[in-house]
Structure 1
Amino acid sequence: MGMDPHLLRTFVAVARLGSFSAAARELGYTQSAVSQHIAALESDLGTVLLGRRPVEPTEAGERLLGHAAPLLLRMEAARADVARAGAVRPSRLVVGVSPLAVDALVRLPPGRPGLRLDIRVLDRAAIPAAVSSGGLDLGLTDGMTAPSDPLPLPETGPLTAAVVAESPLCVALPAGHPLAPRPGLSLSDLADAQWIDAPGSAVPLDRLRAVCGPGAYRGRLRYEGTDVRGLLALVAAGRGLAVLPTGAAEGRDGVAAVPVAAPRLVHRVEALYAGAGDPPAVLDHIVRAGARP
């Protein structure tokens, strides 16, 4: 028999929460129903998936968890895709925007008369899955990449990406830093500098390590906010360096924005929408306007 997605969702909730009762409260089931779901899934797969005291995944359960998230996401994406095919022209568009893509959204022209835009500022990692599953009609995400390379995206349902904006990158450092007068900086020369780990509001340090080759790129502190101004205040105070699109750091009090000279990289903003081919008509004005030179 095929794996029941309801049973799979229950298993994921129990494994994540470590409790049958907590999973029941979250899912709106009785604890008895949750127990029956887990028993049915274990019977279907012919193995024990969860230890009971404590409640934690067995080795087989851990393997199933590795498959569960993408399986459930693809099911949600398929449901959303079918719903979009029969949908009438909406009057409301929900757009998810990563913090460093907000400026690109501001520069886009307004939509058609009567169209309401609901803007949600989200972590860039959450945007592709939300677009794929129908939680967002459009996503604007950003990242650091080589000029000819697309932004790396996680495996979700089918998505199409359109370039909205590209800009140079800079290293943001205190205005009094010895490197502030330089005309450009090589990121590889800064591998052992003190960095601010700010995955939501700057280029993530793991991305620097992946793109720039071997190097520490250690975070002196971690900033989990999405407010770029707050990040730059920390830079100005000498708490560490950050890589940002030049426009986000230029003109900030106490901050020097020194261009990234090497490697050759850009900051790109891409619009993501579900499916393949041309965007739906309601999204076309946003994607096409952003793609103009």
Structure 2
Amino acid sequence: MDPHLLRTYVTVARLASFSEAARALGYTQSAVSQHIAALETDLGLPLLTRRPVAPTPAGERLLEHAGALLLRLDAARADLDRFAAAPRATLRVAASPLALHARTLAALPATGVTLRGLPPEQVPVAVVTGEADAGLVDGIAAPSDPLPPPDVAPLAATGVAEEPLAVLLPAGHPLAGRAGLRLDDLADARWLDAPDAGIPLDRLRAVHGGPAGGGFRTALRYEGTDTRTLLALAVAGHGLTLLPSPLAASVPGAVAVPLVAPRLVHRTELLLPPGVPAEPTGPVAEFTRRLRG
């Protein structure tokens, strides 16, 4: 299967338009049509309906594989490019919003840094495809336990920070006077669902161990990556959110109540691409040394 044809197919399916895909890829519309026809001939199956442009059942199944296949090809190219690349004088870091805190920000070099905030699942992708030299991801885990490894490609992950967790509540909330809270106390509460800016509710459900899809109902879903917006929504009473304790305690007009059970921490990890030496050089080395110091 030709990856160029596959990439064209994914773009057409995503945009639902041959002409829009041609503009996005820098091809002519006839070239896009030829790519799709060639891929359909190779596989012996129709992949798209034309009016409207939409994947067939076989095309839907191909899309389930295509993203991972193209990502691994991009990762392989980026990995090999590192052998020929000259040492970089700058540092590109991709980070999930809650991975940016006092410790990680203080570790950044004084100059020559590009810091890119991304949803958590996109940070490993940026590292393996060479868009970033290093990544910072966060999540909840038992103390000293690593985060689940990303499934995009092998990456070297190192824990760089662990913080206690707290539930952020408006000052007048009925639970605001508690000395501590358990997840069991909160399963029936109204929550903010902010998977790109905070801790996803699916993760809380998994840790809680209740029935699939049960508990931790969404009062409001926020689809941005701005942590300040998430905090403002919590203060305004639109739902609860679980945060690293230092961040939760710093929010005026709200109360941070420690999470006491189960024993969980907010963990931040440094991600480096495969093939990076144990003792890297240049800006990556300075950043790594400061994080581990």
**Which residue number corresponds to residue 80 of structure 2?**
82
Contact 1:70 1:155 (8 Å CA) reproduced: no
1:214-225 paired onto structure 2 within 5 Å: 214=210, 215-225=214-224
Deviations 1:211-267 (A, max 9, x none): 111142111111223332322222222221100000111132111111111111110
1:261 and 1:240 map into 2 onto residues whose CA distance is 20
Distance change in 2, residues 1:244/1:58 (3 Å): same
Cα displacement (A) at 1:201: 2.2
Distance change in 2, residues 1:279/1:176 (3 Å): farther
Structure 1 residue 124 corresponds to structure 2 residue 120: yes
1:180 and 1:167 map into 2 onto residues whose CA distance is 21
**Which residue number corresponds to residue 280 of structure 2?**
280
Code of the aligned partner of 2:88: P
**Which residue number corresponds to residue 261 of structure 1?**
260
Percent identity for Structure 1 against Structure 2: 58
Unaligned stretches of 5+ residues in structure 1: none
- Pick aligned residue for 2:71 from 70, 73, 76: 73
**Which residue number corresponds to residue 242 of structure 2?**
243
**Which residue number corresponds to residue 7 of structure 1?**
5
Deviations 1:39-72 (A, max 9, x none): 1111111211112222211121111111111110
Structure 1 residue 290 corresponds to structure 2 residue 288: no
**Which residue number corresponds to residue 228 of structure 2?**
229
Distance change in 2, residues 1:265/1:9 (3 Å): same
Contact 1:133 1:157 (8 Å CA) reproduced: no
- Pick aligned residue for 1:16 from 7, 14, 17: 14
1:148 and 1:100 map into 2 onto residues whose CA distance is 18
2:133 and 2:20 map into 1 onto residues whose CA distance is 32
Unaligned stretches of 5+ residues in structure 2: none
Cα displacement (A) at 1:279: 5.4
Q: Under a length normalisation based on structure 1, what TM-score does the superposition of the two structures give?
A: 0.93
**Secondary structure, aligned partner of 1:124:** coil
Instruction: Please give the root-mean-square deviation of Cα atoms over the aligned residues, in Å.
Output: 1.6
Distance change in 2, residues 1:194/1:149 (3 Å): same
Code of the aligned partner of 1:266: V
Deviations 1:58-94 (A, max 9, x none): 1211111111111100111111011112221111111
1:51 and 1:57 map into 2 onto residues whose CA distance is 6
**Secondary structure, aligned partner of 2:100:** helix
Over 4 Å off, 4+ runs: none
Code of the aligned partner of 1:163: G
**Secondary structure, aligned partner of 1:95:** strand
**Which residue number corresponds to residue 202 of structure 1?**
198
**Which residue number corresponds to residue 135 of structure 1?**
131
**Which residue number corresponds to residue 158 of structure 2?**
162
Distance change in 2, residues 1:63/1:274 (3 Å): same
1:150 and 1:59 map into 2 onto residues whose CA distance is 38
Contact 1:96 1:122 (8 Å CA) reproduced: yes
Code of the aligned partner of 1:82: L
**Which residue number corresponds to residue 107 of structure 1?**
106
Q: Under a length normalisation based on structure 2, what TM-score does the superposition of the two structures give?
A: 0.93
Code of the aligned partner of 1:216: G
